[in-house]
Each structure stands twice: as C-alpha cells, then as structure tokens.
Amino acid sequence: MDNTYLIEKDFKELLKEQSAYKEVISLAHWDMRTKIPKKGVDQRSEVVGFMAEKVHQLETSEKMKYFIDVLKDQTEDDIIRKTVEECEENYERNRKIPHDEYKEYVMLQSKAEAIWQEAREKSDFSLFQPFLEKLVEYNKKFANYWGYEKNIYDALLHNYEPGVTTETLDQVFPSVRDSLTELLGKITNSSVKPNPDVLKGHFSKAKQEAFALEVLNKMGYDFNAGRLDETIHPFAIALNIHDVRVTTRYDEEDFRMAVFGTIHEGGHALYEQNINPSLANTPLATGTSMGIHESQSLFWENFVGRSEAFWYSHYNLFKDFAPASFQAVPHGQFYKAVNEVKPSFIRIEADELTYSLHIMVRYELEKALINGDIKVKDLPGLWNEKMKDYLGITPPSDKQGVLQDIHWSGGDFGYFPSYALGYMYAAQFNHTLNKEMNVDDLIASGEFHQIKEWFTKHVHQYGKMKKPLEILNDVTGESLNPAYLVNYLTKKYSGIYQF
C-alpha cells in the first residue's frame, strides 16, 4: 500500500480528533448563550478552557508539523492539499502563542461573556471594563506574536477576513460613509415618509416564532440538521454540517427584531449546512471568511427579506400569525414601513442604509484600542461621540451604546469590518445573480430554492477551499466594488422616499 495513503489516513485521524474537541466547545458555547444557569458559568469556562487548550496543543504538535512537512509536497488530493495549507497557517500562527496563555485567554473569554451580559442588563460599563482591558491586552500581545507589516490591527483582521488590510478599509469605508450620509440627508429632507405606526401592536412571542419557523423552512433551512432557540444576542453556530443551530431574540412590541434577525441567522446557517460533505472533519468545513459569511446573512435579510417582492408573496402568511392591528394594513404601506430609515441606537435593529455606519463606529474604536490610541475606560464617551457624528443620535445608556454587542466580550477584535464588507459582497453577488435570473420574480413567486442552489454552487460548497477574495472574483468577475451597494440603496430608497 502506498505510504502517502497511510500518512494521509493518519492525518485525517488527527483532524477528526481536533474536530471532536471543537464540536464540544461549540456546543458548550451554544449552551452558555442560551440555557446555562448563572452559577454554572465559571465551571463551564474551566471546561471550555481545558478543551481549547487541547485543540491548541493538537494544532501546534510535532505530529501536526510532521504531517504538514510530509504531505504539502506529496499529496495529490486537492482537499488534503488545501487542508495542509490551512493547518500550516494555523500551526505557524498558533505555535507563537504559549499554551498556558491561550488557555487563560479562552477562560477569560467565557467569563467576560457572562459579565458582559450582567453589565448589559444593568447598563453599567464599569462591570465589564476590567475584563475588556485584559481582552484588549491579550489581543495586542497575540497580534505582536503573529506579526504584521504596516498596522497591528491587520494581524487581527486576518483572522476574519484574510486578504483585506486596514489600508483597504481606510480607503473604502470613508467613501461609502460619505455616500450613505448623503443619502441619509436626502431621506431626512424628503416630505414623503413611511408611516411606522402601522407596525405597532402586541405580537406574541409564540406567534413570532411560528412565523419565523415558516420563513426558515421556505429559505431551505434543514430542521433535521438544526434548530431555533432564543438568546440575548442572536447568532448561528455550526457544530458540524449536520448540526447548524440558529438563535433569535423576541420583542413582543416590535416583531422586526425576531423576523429579520432569524432570516439573517438563517442565511449564515444555509452556508454551513451546504458545505460539501467531503470537507467534514477538516478545518475547511466552515465559511471562508466572516465577510463572505455576512454576505450570505445580509443577502437573505435585506435583498430578500426586506424586499417588496418578499412582502408581496409573504404578507398574507405574515397576517396569519400577526395580531388584528395588522389585518387592515395595505401591503404597500407595510413594505415601506419595515424599510423606514431612521437612525437607531442598536446595530441589529438598524435599517439597511444606516447599518454600515454602525460598523464604522465600531471599526474605528477597536482599531484605535489595538493601536493604543485610546483607552478602554474612555469607550462609552467616545462611542457616544461617534454615534452623534455619524448617525446624529446619542445613546442614553451603556446598554443602548457601548455594551450592546457581544463581540468584544468574546475577544473578537477584527470582526466588525466583516459586517460592512459582507454587505458590499452581498450587493456584488446580487448584481451578478440578477444577470442570470430575475431575483425579484423568484422571490415574489416564493421560489427560493433556485437562489439557494445558486449560492451553494458558487459559494457554500467550497467552505474554505477558496479564499474570500478568490470567491468574489470567481463569482462576479471583479474585486471588491462598493458601488453596487451604494447603487442598490440609492435605487431602493429613492423609490420609497421619492427623491
């Protein structure tokens, strides 16, 4: 028997062992964000830290180094070759972090998330501040371990959006911000306004959940490989390609939180559920980047879920679950109302147009934190200043301001830009998709399967076999082009606000 075959077989066994630990870690995180009793957090954090340390040891072991050295020039299997490339990058980055520091960091993450929840509930940043200070210092230390060329933030950005740099963001974001604020000015000055009052009415959590489940099913979400649960901050999590879970958050006085949040997380889940099964138990069996991941969630939430075509075909279904106050509201009024542009304090409640401005606030603050230009203790005030500058509003509390998002409590520095990048990717994908099929006609007829199959063919199936910018170029024939997003928003909102 060929010796390379035997080595590949042993390599796969090592990857399977890593995957087993990672799956249990993901399950533990899901439980901590949905079901765990408060007193169980510390012990669970210890368990997660122990398992994460095991993964770190496996990823940086001599055994892993042996497989990388032997297989990277010998294997003829494309999946193994790409897996070796991914493992080599993980090895080179992770071996620079001492095992004990990594374990301490993972335990800190788990505890910080629990403290963040308490701080958010009490709207008291001071509770979270000491944990965030430690998380920032760890991230700066890790970034220096990994190394970077121009900006320390690039080392963290690489974890979520390989191929994109701070220099790129600092070129793209200001131009997009200027276009969005110009559009926002036109909308503010328009005499034509949607009537948000038509959306008012007590909408029970049970009925919202029932509608959300219907929509997920129509999107093609496989409930035999997933489930829907409730949480404070909605997320989707993939334990493996056959167990991809979605969570949402309900507000009985504003159904939009759950409806659009569920569609958003459902978009993430479709990505993970439709990765090629041949990639299972390898580090390639996940989304290629958070930006491409966000392109999927934002495509479904905005280009589908907030479209006129969607509400044309799903409004009667919605009214089957909605309270009496919605029954006499015309479809056109409802569509315009759910697309009202109004600067808001909460990112996940933001309208399509102002959403990216929220991301830019966070990006600028965390970049400044990592570069040492600002201190953690100053975040609440600086946050409010940027919200005033970009959105014209000042959060009345930490809960509605600096404490609203979970990401920093998990140490996810470098993550936020992917939301805005994902929106740009989604617009670019949408432009290409419309060259091949009439997307609005498909949505209006409820034929989502063709859209889902297109994304599975061009994006989902590859997992991390392709790099994010490689996928973007292969699908659309060009590199990142933010003009598609600006054009989409201009066309949509000039129609709603008639300017």
Mean pLDDT over 386-390 rounds to 95
Instruction: Measure Cα distances from 272 to 22, 242, 481 in Å.
Output: 15, 9, 25
Please give the helix or strand (H or E) that residue 239 lies within, else none. Answer: strand 236-240
Q: Enter the DSSP assignment of 292.
A: H
Q: Is 488 domain-assigned?
A: yes
Residue 65 has pLDDT above 80, yes or no: yes
Q: What is the dihedral of CA 47, 52, 53, 56, to 10 degrees?
A: 170
Question: Per-residue DSSP letters for 31-49?
Answer: HHHHT--GGGHHHHHHHHH
Residue 99 has pLDDT above 90, yes or no: no
Q: Which strands sit side by side in the sheet containing 228-230, from one edge to the other?
A: 228-230, 243-248, 236-240
* pLDDT (tens digit per residue) in 327-375: 999 999 999 999 999 999 999 889 999 999 999 999 999 999 999 999 9
Does residue 427 share a domain with residue 370? yes
Does residue 186 share a domain with residue 305? yes
Q: Is 457 domain-assigned?
A: yes
Q: Report how far residue 360's alpha carbon sits from residue 172's, in angstroms, rounded to the nearest whole number.
A: 11
pLDDT for 372 equals 97
How far, in whole angstroms, is CA 124 from its chain's centroid? 26
Q: Among 126, 151, 174, identify where a domain stops.
A: 126
* pLDDT (tens digit per residue) in 225-260: 999 999 988 999 999 999 999 999 999 999 999 999
CB atoms within 10 A of CB 294: 30
pLDDT for 278 equals 97
* pLDDT (tens digit per residue) in 124-157: 999 999 999 999 999 999 999 999 999 999 999 9
Does residue 197 share a domain with residue 75? no
Cα dihedral across residues 60, 61, 65, 68: positive or negative: negative
Q: Is 247 domain-assigned?
A: yes
Token pair belonging to 72: 């990277």
Q: Among 126, 157, 177, identify where a domain stops.
A: 126
Among 8, 59, 265, 364, the active-site one is 265
Mean pLDDT over 59-79 rounds to 94
Q: Is 149 domain-assigned?
A: no
Residue 119 has pLDDT above 80, yes or no: yes
Mean pLDDT over 292-317 rounds to 97
- Tokens 């990006």, located at residue: 363
Active site includes 265? Answer: yes
Does residue 30 share a domain with residue 84? yes
Q: Is 326 domain-assigned?
A: yes
- Tokens 């100053």, located at residue: 378
- Tokens 């070759």, located at residue: 81
Q: Enter the DSSP assignment of 300.
A: I
Residue 179 has pLDDT above 60, yes or no: yes
CATH number for the domain spanning 336: value is 1.10.1370.30
Full residue range of the structural domain in which residue 254 is found:
166-497
Does residue 295 share a domain with residue 408? yes
Mean pLDDT over 100-109 rounds to 92
CB atoms within 10 A of CB 232: 14
- For 236, phi and psi rounded to 5 degrees? -115, 145
pLDDT for 73 equals 87
Does residue 417 share a domain with residue 486? yes
Mean pLDDT over 77-101 rounds to 94
Please give the helix or strand (H or E) that residue 244 lies within, else none. Answer: strand 243-248
Does residue 97 share a domain with residue 170? no
Q: Is 478 domain-assigned?
A: yes
Residue 309 has pLDDT above 60, yes or no: yes
Does residue 256 share a domain with residue 369? yes
**Do 228 and 248 contact (CB within 8 A), yes or no?**
yes
pLDDT for 23 equals 97
Residue 2 has pLDDT above 80, yes or no: no
Bridge partners of residue 230, in order along the sequence: 248
Q: Report how far residue 57's alpha carbon sits from residue 2's, in angstroms, rounded to the nearest whole number.
A: 29
Does residue 179 share a domain with residue 118? no
Work out the percent of the chain whose per-residue pLDDT is above 70: 100
Banded model confidence at residue 9, pLDDT cuts 50, 70, 90: very high
Token pair belonging to 479: 């590199």
Q: Among 102, 126, 150, identify where a domain stops.
A: 126
Counting the structural domains of the chain, the total is 2
Strand 228-230 to strand 236-240: parallel, antiparallel, or no bridges (unpaired)? unpaired
CB atoms within 10 A of CB 10: 13
Residue 222 has pLDDT above 90, yes or no: yes
Q: Is 132 domain-assigned?
A: no
What's the start-to-end Cα distance of the chain, in Å? 72
Please give the helix or strand (H or E) that residue 229 lies within, else none. Answer: strand 228-230
pLDDT for 4 equals 86
Q: Report how far residue 387's alpha carbon sits from residue 395's, in angstroms, rounded to the nearest whole number.
A: 8
* pLDDT (tens digit per residue) in 473-497: 999 999 999 999 999 999 999 999 9
Does residue 172 share a domain with residue 120? no
Does residue 72 share a domain with residue 14? yes
Does residue 203 share a domain with residue 97? no
Q: Is 135 domain-assigned?
A: no
Mean pLDDT over 176-189 rounds to 95
* pLDDT (tens digit per residue) in 287-300: 999 999 999 999 99
Banded model confidence at residue 3, pLDDT cuts 50, 70, 90: confident
